[in-house]
Amino acid sequence: MNDEKAALGQKILRIKRQLGLSWDDVGRALGHSPVWTCAACLGQMSMSAETAEKAAALFDLDATEQAVLETIPYRGSLPGGVPTDPLIYRFYELIQVYGTTWKELIHEEFGDGIMSAIDFDMALERQPDQKGDRVKITMSGKFLPYKRY
């Protein structure tokens, strides 16, 4: 299933390039944010039937491929426990450096619990800056308190 989703992701990347579309364009066509749209096309999210239909129309996919977009993936997009690609590794490095800080600050503000990675959304934008533009990432996850029973 995942191999199908991965292969379809590569195909969509090729078609998107040929059509000259940005992820913003694709997101608008599908009615979702660019981040979620990209993750879904790369095979890490499942699309609703409606969304998959729009994606199939946009990228000219057949019924089988449309069905693949709807299937729920076995998630996890990285080979190996520690990513080797420098762009992705920097996020792993943030965990190494800031992991205990996140823990301390979220517990101070909310008490014992976690930030959900499921009821979660994210946006990514360019932040113009004289000394060099910056990548700005905004994450928002529901706080889930640990149940005491």
Residues 102-121 close enough to bind its own copies by CB under 8 A:
102-121
Question: Residue 111 is which amino acid?
Answer: G
Is 93 annotated as catalytic?
yes
Is 38 among the residues that bind its own copies (CB under 8 A)?
yes
> Exactly one of 14, 50, 75, 93 is catalytic; which is it?
93
Cα 33 to Cα 30, 37, 45, 74, 125, distances in angstroms: 9, 6, 13, 22, 12
Is 91 among the residues that bind its own copies (CB under 8 A)?
yes
> Exactly one of 90, 104, 134, 140 is catalytic; which is it?
90
Collapsing DSSP to helix, strand or coil, 30 comes out as helix
**CA nearest to 10, candidates 43, 52, 37, 57:** 43
Between 15 and 74, CB nearer to its own copies: 74
Is 33 annotated as catalytic?
no
Report the catalytic residues.
90, 93, 116
